[in-house]
Amino acid sequence: MPFNLQMPFLRQQYLEGSLTPLALVQALDSLIGSEDAGHVWIYRLSLEEMRAYAEALLDKDPASLPLYGIPFAIKDNIDLAGVPTTAACAEYAYVPERSATVVQQLIDAGAIPVGKTNLDQFATGLVGTRSPYGACQNSFDPAFISGGSSSGSAVALASGMVSFSLGTDTAGSGRVPAAFNNLVGLKPSCGLLSTQGMVPACRTLDCMSIFALTADDAATVLAVAQGFDAEDAYSRAAPTPLPAGPLPGAFRFGVPRREQLAFFDNAHTPGLFDTALARLQALGGTPVEIDFSDFLQTARLLYEGPWVAERYAAIRTFFEQQAEAVYPVTRNIIAGATRFSAADTFAAQYRLKAMQRKAASVWGSVDVIVTPTAGTIYRIDEVNADPVQTNSNLGYYTNFMNLLDLAAIAIPAGFQPDGLPFGVTLCAPAFTDSALLAIAAAWDRAAQPDGSARTLGATGIPFNANTGVTL
């Protein structure tokens, strides 16, 4: 059995004195080793580098720091001081002098960075295959995709190498990998987490995301990571009081009309989605059928409209000088952005404003919307054979989220007969993050439909296990 890296379990060991941060990093270094057959890491901290973070905790009281000695992974488009940031492009790499705001807040709370993880280059993709560092393999079956773009962050967590990880989410990158690796993926409200120290994809839509083994763990990380940052022009302070959100035991959840659901010829995921709806009802939810067309129309704006030009703007100087260094599929997407004019951009903004107004009407009848996180999953060879359409299919339920300023959480929702995970996503208006986490936590604690124990990632460790292999 892998090490039990659940945050409450580690915290209990630290408080009892049966574990130290130095012992933890020694064990993790041995566990992870030097091999990386699944293409998870771009830069893994050495034992000496991890020891430096662990030693900084030795004179601290474990009870005084919420993340004392908790190991985490960082998507390699987010800065960690003294470690290269590549965005999965070696020619683009730079070494930051300081960490991203969120990373530093986590370290200050006691967390220990383990490494920088693989991603779809420049965070452009939902598949995890668009990287010169190799296609990141699914934690359950290496023939299948891990999901992207935060591929390595999800697989490192699901494989039992860290306790939580950071990703980013512009179009679904913090949710699709969660679904494909049996994890919780929190896409916070835009601006709730600082993006200072993050390589932008679409800066007006970007947000940092959190992968966790459980909803409670995600809530713990969010509490540390969130906060207004004057250095980030897109940072937003949470309103006071927070908007009313859905609560376990009494909430209305919107479900797209059956003809608006898409499972892309997967014979098993429709049944898993129906089971998830029944589970939400058992938690006190009332289903309400909704017209999902406004959300789907909004989603198409992300790649069919001029927002793709933001990806060009983010790396414009580098792209114009070294376009040949960019991964072929990514290069074609970014190069296509130059066809949009300023007039096109304004026209699309007007269109989006109208769609936001139309889509907002649904919140008068429901508290939360539930969809599959992705309708299906693909093998790596299937994605390589048709990289654009497969990626587009994976964004069917995700691409509208930041355009419509919603908070969302992806949660595990069972397994296909072949053992691959399936997940659903709950979304609601901005700054309902805590309410969504409360429902997800209730979901975690509820019995599985088949009576089995909920397991964490691909580790096989049961949810809330209070025992594990000794570190």
Q: Does 361 participate in catalysis according to the annotation?
A: no
The model's pLDDT over 110-121, given as tens digits with 9 standing for 90+, comes to: 999 999 999 999
Sign (positive or negative) of CA dihedral 176, 173, 226, 160: positive
Residues sharing a CB contact under 8 Å with residue 372, sequence separation 6 or more, in sequence order: 179, 261, 263, 269, 273, 397, 422, 423, 424, 425
| Predicted local distance difference test score (pLDDT) of residue 467 | 52
Separation CA 4–CA 19 (nearest Å): 13
Taking residue 345's Cβ as centre, other Cβ atoms within 10 Å add up to 15
Q: Which two tokens stand for residue 17?
A: 């004195």
| Predicted local distance difference test score (pLDDT) of residue 470 | 44
Residue 75 parent element (H or E): strand 71-75
Residues sharing a CB contact under 8 Å with residue 446, sequence separation 6 or more, in sequence order: 279, 282, 283
Determine phi and psi for 235, rounding to 5 degrees: -70, 145
Catalytic residue among 99, 146, 149, 194: 149
| Per-position pLDDT tens, the chain of length 471 | 468 999 999 999 999 999 999 999 999 999 999 999 999 999 999 999 999 999 999 999 999 999 999 999 999 999 999 999 999 999 999 999 999 999 999 999 999 999 999 999 999 999 999 999 999 999 999 999 999 999 999 999 999 999 999 999 999 999 999 999 999 999 999 999 999 999 999 999 999 999 999 999 999 999 999 999 999 999 999 998 888 778 778 899 999 999 999 999 999 999 999 999 999 999 999 999 999 999 999 999 998 889 999 999 999 999 999 999 999 999 999 999 889 999 999 999 999 999 999 999 999 999 999 999 999 999 999 999 999 999 999 999 999 999 999 999 999 999 999 999 999 999 999 999 999 999 999 999 987 777 777 899 999 999 876 654 444
> 141, 223, 226: which is closest to 182 by C-alpha?
141
Query: Which residue carries 């699709």 as its tokens?
Result: 176
Which residue spans within 160-290 are E strands per DSSP?
Answer: 164-168, 184-187, 208-212, 251-256, 285-290
| Predicted local distance difference test score (pLDDT) of residue 244 | 76
Sign (positive or negative) of CA dihedral 219, 221, 224, 228: negative
Enumerate the H helices of 210-341 as residue ranges.
Answer: 215-225, 269-282, 293-304, 308-314, 316-322, 328-335
Q: Is 466 exposed, middle or buried (0-12, 13-18, 19+ CB in 10 A)?
A: exposed
Sign (positive or negative) of CA dihedral 444, 157, 424, 100: positive
- Name residue 71's beta-bridge partners: 112
Catalytic residue among 99, 173, 189, 235: 173
Catalytic residue among 75, 131, 159, 163: 75
| Predicted local distance difference test score (pLDDT) of residue 465 | 61
26-295+352-445 is a CATH 3.40.50.300 domain = no
Q: Which two tokens stand for residue 290?
A: 């909704």
Q: Does 365 participate in catalysis according to the annotation?
A: no
Q: Does 358 participate in catalysis according to the annotation?
A: no
| Predicted local distance difference test score (pLDDT) of residue 338 | 87
The CA-to-CA distance between both ends of the chain, in Å, stands at: 12
Separation CA 419–CA 14 (nearest Å): 34
Determine phi and psi for 48, rounding to 5 degrees: -65, -40
- The whole-angstrom distance between residue 446's C-alpha and the CA centroid of its chain comes to 23
Separation CA 190–CA 353 (nearest Å): 17
